[in-house]
């Protein structure tokens, strides 16, 4: 799968995809970097509350809705 992120909206959606994948890894116990976790970043920036699993579920719905609007291919 390849994504061309050539607009600000596509860049933001690509970032959201990376955050979702990082959160999936955190749930499995793997952390991508030493700094702030994807879980805390998503909760703060998108004002989502709940456990890691609930945040992942809701955040995935947000991403899927954005993809269905045609803002990103993939």
Spatial CA neighbour of 23 closest among 31, 15, 34: 31
pTM for the model stands at: 0.85
Structural domain that includes position 66: 7-36+55-74
Residue 74 confidence (pLDDT): 45
What is the distance between the alpha carbons of residues 1 and 56, in angstroms, rounded to a whole number?
22
26 occurs within a structural domain: yes
Q: How far is CA 9 from CA 28, 36, 38, 46, in A?
A: 29, 23, 20, 15
Per the structure, the count of domains in the chain is 1
Q: Is 19 helix (H, G, I), strand (E, B) or coil?
A: helix
Instruction: Give residue 55's pLDDT band: very low, low, confident or very high (50, 70, 90).
Output: very high
74 occurs within a structural domain: yes
Q: Would you say residue 51 has pLDDT above 50?
A: yes
20 occurs within a structural domain: yes
Q: Would you say residue 36 has pLDDT above 80?
A: yes
């Amino acid at each position: 799968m390849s994504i061309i992120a050539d607009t600000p909206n596509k860049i933001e959606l690509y970032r959201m995809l990376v955050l979702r994948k990082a959160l999936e890894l955190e749930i499995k116990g793997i952390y991508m970097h030493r700094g702030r976790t994807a879980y805390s970043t998503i909760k703060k920036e998108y004002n989502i509350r709940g456990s890691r699993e609930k945040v992942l579920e809701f955040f995935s719905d947000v991403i899927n809705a954005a993809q269905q609007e045609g803002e990103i291919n993939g």
